[in-house]
Amino acid sequence: MGEFELIRRFFAAAPCAQAGEAVALGIGDDCALLNISAGEQLAVSTDTLVVGVHFPLSCDPFLLGQRALAVAVSDLAAMGATPLAFTLALTLDTAEPAWLHAFAAGLSQMAQTCRMALVGGDTTRGPLSLTLTVFGRVPVGQALTRSGARPGDLLCVGGVLGDAAGALPLVLGQREAPADQAEPLLRQYWSPLPQLELGELLRGKATAALDISDGLLADCGHVARASAVALQIEREQIPLSTALRLFAGEAATDCALAGGDDYVLAFTLPEEHLVAVQAQWPAMQVIGRVLDGQGVQLVDGNGQLITPPRTGYQHFGNTDD
């Protein structure tokens, strides 16, 4: 099967590749054309997933298609952007029709959930890897960034943490668990839902935001560094699911602090906005505060500093830089 037949057969005809209001020109030309209204900015982010690093070779291609797009779209949520479209650069060792059909179906389902269109990309031969670039729109001056946190702000997260990290032994076949524990954890790992509505809700309210991909401690470190403040996290306030507590036991909190792959928003919020945001997003949880200083502090219920066993995932090196 040639490159162009592959694109036509599995991607150009997919439901998510059909042009919509935001797409003036999609797959089939040298470039896609997107419609952006006056007073809006284009938000762009790229993510790469590599076999053996981000997912096992034996994984379900339908679930891989869902996950690949979801983790990229989560960056748009973190900026408060509304999704428009995405591109896919797909590197394949072999072009197996059954695998491609399932992958394209999973990708298309997540794209339709996120209300965005596939508008182009590339295919090539080599070790399996996926590179997705996502495009969104946000009103000028309302994008959420990492650099606006101020002392006195509350530190919040958009929901429970650690489920995806807890699922990793299940994904790798290292452990088994009853369905009431395994299914919620695996669902969060393979089909995380980008918190797009929360991101849009936080426009004009949150002072800083990002999505948690490398672990709460490591990602809060990015906000602390960009904002030149300290973030204090109260360990007992970190929201954990019942499934994770049952499956991971005492390690559940460590999954949330340093496990990564949550794709839940962490944000800093002036206290006057707390009630309004909670009313529209009840799953949010206040887990700490922004202080004068630098870095990330983890404290127990008595305010005593705790040294965590690890801080988060890094591709290169062992530091958070």
Confidence of residue 321 (pLDDT cuts 50, 70, 90): very low
Instruction: Give the span between the Cα atoms of 24 and 270, in whole angstroms.
Output: 39
Residues 6+ apart with CB under 8 A from 94: none
d(CA 55, CA 187): 15
* 316 pLDDT more than 70: no
Residue ranges covered by each domain of the chain: 3-139, 154-306
User: Which CA distances in Å does 310 have to 216, 217, 274, 294?
Assistant: 11, 9, 30, 18
Choose the CATH number for 3-139 among 3.40.30.120, 3.30.1330.10, 3.40.220.10, 3.20.20.70: 3.30.1330.10
Q: Nearest 5°: phi and psi at 149?
A: -60, 140
The yes-or-no answer to whether 3-139 and 154-306 have a common fold is no
C-alpha 155/C-alpha 208 separation (Å) is 10
Q: From residue 43, how far is each of 65, 72, 80, 201, 312 by CA, in Å?
A: 22, 12, 9, 17, 26
pLDDT band at 315 (very low <50, low <70, confident <90, very high): very low
pLDDT at 15 over 90: no
pLDDT of residue 318: 43
Buried-exposed string 38-63: b where 16+ CB fall within 10 A, e elsewhere: eebbebebebebebeebbeeeeebbb
What pLDDT does residue 320 have? 40
From the list 293, 291, 226, 213, the residue with the least C-alpha distance to 258 is: 213
Reported as a pLDDT band with limits 50, 70 and 90, residue 19 is low
pLDDT in tens, 139-162: 999 999 999 999 999 999 999 999
Tell me the pTM.
0.91
Distance CA 214, CA 36 (A): 32
Residue 311 binned pLDDT confidence (cut-offs 50, 70, 90): low
Mean pLDDT of the chain: 91
Confidence tier at 203 by pLDDT (50, 70, 90) = very high
Task: With a cut of 50, say whether residue 28 has pLDDT above it.
Answer: yes
What is the mean pLDDT of the segment spanning 58-74? Answer: 95
Under 8 Å CB-to-CB from 39, ≥6 apart: which residues?
139, 140
Q: Give 310's pLDDT tier (boundaries 50, 70, 90).
A: low
| Predicted pLDDT of residue 172 | 87
- Cα 112 from Cα 16, distance rounded (Å): 6
Instruction: Grade residue 88 by pLDDT with cuts at 50, 70 and 90.
Output: very high
* pLDDT confidence band for 29 (50 / 70 / 90): confident
Kindly indicate the confidence band of residue 217, based on its pLDDT and cuts at 50, 70 and 90: very high
| Residue 42 reports pLDDT greater than 50 | yes
How far from the centroid of its chain's Cα atoms is residue 100's Cα?
A: 23
Of 45, 134, 16, 44, nearest to 85 by C-alpha is 134
**Residue type (1 letter), 95:** A
CATH for 154-306, options being 3.40.50.300, 3.40.50.620, 3.90.650.10, 3.40.50.2300: 3.90.650.10
Task: Identify residue 181 by its one-letter amino acid code.
Answer: Q
